[in-house]
Amino acid sequence: MNSKKYMIDLFSGCGGLSHGFEQAGFECILGIDYDQPALDTFAHNHPHAQAIKLDLSSEESIQRIVKEVGKKNIDLIVAGPPCQGFSLTGTRNENDKRNTLFYSVFKLAAIVKPKYIIIENVPGIATLYQGKARKAILEEFDKLGYTCSEKLLYAPDYGIPQIRKRMFFVGVLGEDVFEFPSATHDKSNYVTCEQAISDLPSLKDDLGREITDYSCEPSSEYQKIMRDGADRLYNHVGTSHTDLVVSVIKQVPEGGNHKDLPEGVGTSRKFNEAWTRYHSQKPSKTIDTGHRNHFHYRWHRVPTARENARLQSFPDRFHFVGPKTQQYKQIGNAVPPMLGYVLGKKILELDASNS
């Protein structure tokens, strides 16, 4: 009997979420997105999977996926759809393509009938449109016969060195109730920026060049996990800033931002996250898609794509393909693989208890 657990990743991006599930023991057979550069990275890192470029708002795309699945038994569908998928008015206009994005997950699930469905989104989904978005998700799960559990997960609680909150809905076909994994960390032992990236070369004299050699041994448990299976570095290219930018960021203390600058310095950027320097002894701020407002806790430059990937818990053996702007975008859009891992392990536990 085939004991493999097959999954599909909808709105896969580069595949951060499904990478975590694969590490837990699932095999991702399909990744679907309409962004080709993200799919290129997905394909590079998911050798068993097919990466297919499709617009998930269309009915034809759903039919195409059904055809690809064929007779394969799908255990899990994971999906991180963008949250514009609900109309502000609450009256769903079937002709507005964006309105069908969430529903595409359920349209596919109604045909493929996976045992488990996971929908991930920003925390705001719970309150979006006066809670209508959340209610609609719960109703869809119910209609298809799934029991849904929901929870806001805080990444540092699971050993991820980054402040990031994400909402998860986990549906189980039938009556079983999914229990979310317990936190493994708390304030007293959150993984810090230093523990996450201090072993990566500073690039002080190598800005703009790809550095592929590790210059030292890992110095934390987290670094050891991240370097497992990697013998050289990828995506570690330092940005060369103007003298003005360097002179400003030099004046921001660890954990500080534009509010810590002397009068008249750095006035070109004043918004909330402007001139933010990470704190070496704390998790990082939420990794963005490359806005260049976050700086390394020690070096006077923005973090490299690899440093951001580390803070997102992507192991070093996961490579991002394409230009730097695409790498930053894919990393910032991703769900930390470690969150996928802990959820995947919990689903496999539940599955084992039933077989």
User: Six-digit token pair at 258?
Assistant: 């534009």
Q: How far is the CB of 18 from ligand SAM (least distance, A)?
A: 7
Q: Which is nearer to ligand SAM, 80 or 201 (CB)?
A: 80
Q: How far is the CB of 11 from ligand SAM (least distance, A)?
A: 3
Q: Which is nearer to ligand SAM, 41 or 276 (CB)?
A: 41
Task: Decide if 83 is catalytic.
Answer: yes
Work out whether strand 116-121 and strand 165-173 pair parallel, antiparallel, or are unpaired: antiparallel
Q: How far is the CB of 16 from ligand SAM (least distance, A)?
A: 3
**HEC letters along 161-213:** CECCEEEEEEEEECCCCCCCCCCCCCHHHCCCHHHHHCCCCCCCCCCCCECCC
Alpha carbon 40 to its chain centroid, in Å, reads 16
Between helix 59-69 and helix 101-112 the angle, nearest 10°, is: 30
- Cα distance between residue 237 and residue 280, in whole Å: 20
- Cα distance between residue 229 and residue 132, in whole Å: 44
Q: How far is the CB of 62 from ligand SAM (least distance, A)?
A: 11
Select which of 83, 148, 193, 216 is catalytic: 83
Q: Which is nearer to ligand SAM, 38 or 203 (CB)?
A: 38
SS3 content of the chain, % helix, strand, coil (to 5): 35, 15, 50
- Cα distance between residue 298 and residue 300, in whole Å: 7
Q: Which residues contact 12 (CB under 8 A, 6 or more apart)?
A: 18, 31, 32, 33, 38, 39, 42, 51
User: Six-digit token pair at 303?
Assistant: 């973090």
Work out whether strand 165-173 and strand 146-154 pair parallel, antiparallel, or are unpaired: antiparallel
Q: Which residues bind ligand SAM (CB under 6 A)?
A: 11-17, 33-35, 38, 55-57, 80, 82, 101, 333-335
Q: Which is nearer to ligand SAM, 164 or 258 (CB)?
A: 164
With b for 16 or more beta-carbon neighbours within 10 A and e for fewer, the 246-276 pattern comes to eebbeebebbbbbebbeeeebeebeeeebbb
Q: Which is nearer to ligand SAM, 50 or 198 (CB)?
A: 50
Q: Which is nearer to ligand SAM, 51 or 74 (CB)?
A: 51
Q: Look-up: residue for tokens 């990743």?
A: 9
Q: How far is the CB of 338 from ligand SAM (least distance, A)?
A: 11
Active-site positions read: 83
